[in-house]
Structure 1
Amino acid sequence: MTAATDGRRAKGERRRRAIVDATLRVIARDGVSAISHRNVAREAGVAPASIAYYFAGIDDLLVATLLESVDQLITELDRLREGGPDGAEWPRLVAELLASLVRDHRERTLAEYELYLLAARRPALRPAARRWIEVAAGYVNDGDPPALRALLAAIDGLLMQGLIADEPPTAEDLEPSLRYLMQPGDYLGELS
């Protein structure tokens, strides 16, 4: 492969990434109903034909956007895990992450949840929406599946409540709930 080919490939990946990022911004600002080739292209600063070049259709674009969001979640979870926290530290670390998602990254989190909910109506998005659950479950070793599902559902609920709150919750607000939910470590399994 030549340097020119590598350069074109890198440029194409940057353009594709810009389109995905623009899609999330449009959803955050105007809702998923505002997604169109023209609106995303305008937001990304590319020609509308670029959307069709990189994505087979709107559902393909939405799936890529949702998967990108999951990849960012994986990065955040990996960052949390790097310090090798023990089980007692996890509720605080998760509370800080959730508080940041609803405070510092509110619009992005709102857009991600809008996509997540859209998966209930659009089957093409369902595997991408379930991916985050699979990823999050992978961070708990030998956990009890019903308890783990309950924990993940509670985290979804805390985030949704945080998004509709007049004042976003702080880590201090969220930690007691998470500590309660994560308390039975031997029932959930060890967090890795």
Structure 2
Amino acid sequence: MTEVTDGRRLKGERRRRAIVDAALRVVARDGVGAVSHRNVAREAGVPPASIAYYFDGIDDLLVASLLDGCEALVEQITAVRDRVVDNAQWPRAVAELLVGMIREHRERTIAEYELYLLAARRPALRPAARRWIELVRGNVNSGREGDEAVVSAFIAGIDGLLLQALIADEPPTADRLEPVLRFLMQPYDHLGVQG
């Protein structure tokens, strides 16, 4: 009986995951306005009723998509942090992460930022957007006095760099981003790597 239940749960989790991924692809390709039960179901290859089964409405689906982006970003930051052995490497590592988001995962990054900005108009998305900031803050903040302002400036800097890169005709390289990140982190060399 447990195997059957686990199999059903796994199938349900895969279908839900496929729907969230499909919603992100729809947002990336056509914008948030194109997210509907029918469009997402078509993109996911599932019946439209599946959307209503797994999500209470479009806002619930958009929240799940935004939270998925949060989790993916935290995983990436954690991987970078685990790879960095001293603070001098942190700006380069973050620059490479941003370049990957801009060049290799451009459409997903656009979709995530579109959802992030949509929270300004759709209150249902605000907790998920704030969670994004909190997760990043928690992965960067060392807990030292004054870090809150430093981390807020760092996050705002990252957001600005990504938004500028997404509208650039030629996306920046890690070599171009590294000095900016080094400047953002210079007075706060304790940020990236937590001991």
Above 0.5 in TM-score? yes
TM-score (norm 1): 0.95
User: RMSD of aligned C-alpha atoms?
Assistant: 1.3
The residue aligned with 1:49 is 49
The residue aligned with 2:115 is 115
C-alpha deviation, 1:190, in angstroms: 5.8
Could you tell me how far apart the structure 1 residues matched to 2:77 and 2:156 are? 17
Instruction: State whether structure 2 residue 177 is matched by structure 1 residue 170.
Output: no
Q: SS at the partner of 2:110?
A: helix
Look up the equivalent residue of 2:141 and give its one-letter code: V
The residue aligned with 2:186 is 183
TM-score (norm 2): 0.94
Contact 1:87 1:191 in 2 (8 A): yes
Contact 1:87 1:190 in 2 (8 A): yes
Query: How many residues of Structure 1 are paired with residues of Structure 2 in the alignment?
Result: 191
C-alpha deviation, 1:177, in angstroms: 0.4
Contact 2:165 2:171 in 1 (8 A): yes
Contact 2:150 2:188 in 1 (8 A): no
Q: SS at the partner of 1:49?
A: helix
The residue aligned with 1:157 is 160
Contact 2:19 2:44 in 1 (8 A): yes
Q: 1:8-38: CA deviations, max 9, x gaps?
A: 1100000000000000000000000000000
The residue aligned with 1:87 is 87
Contact 1:20 1:65 in 2 (8 A): yes
Could you tell me how far apart the structure 1 residues matched to 2:61 and 2:47 are? 15
Could you tell me how far apart the structure 2 residues matched to 1:89 and 1:132 are? 24
C-alpha deviation, 1:43, in angstroms: 0.1
C-alpha deviation, 1:168, in angstroms: 0.8
Instruction: State whether structure 2 residue 73 is matched by structure 1 residue 70.
Output: no
Unpaired runs of 5+ residues, structure 1, are: none
Look up the equivalent residue of 2:161 and give its one-letter code: L
Unpaired runs of 5+ residues, structure 2, are: none
Q: 1:57-86: CA deviations, max 9, x gaps?
A: 000000000001111111111111222421
* Aligned-pair identity (%): 67
C-alpha deviation, 1:121, in angstroms: 0.5
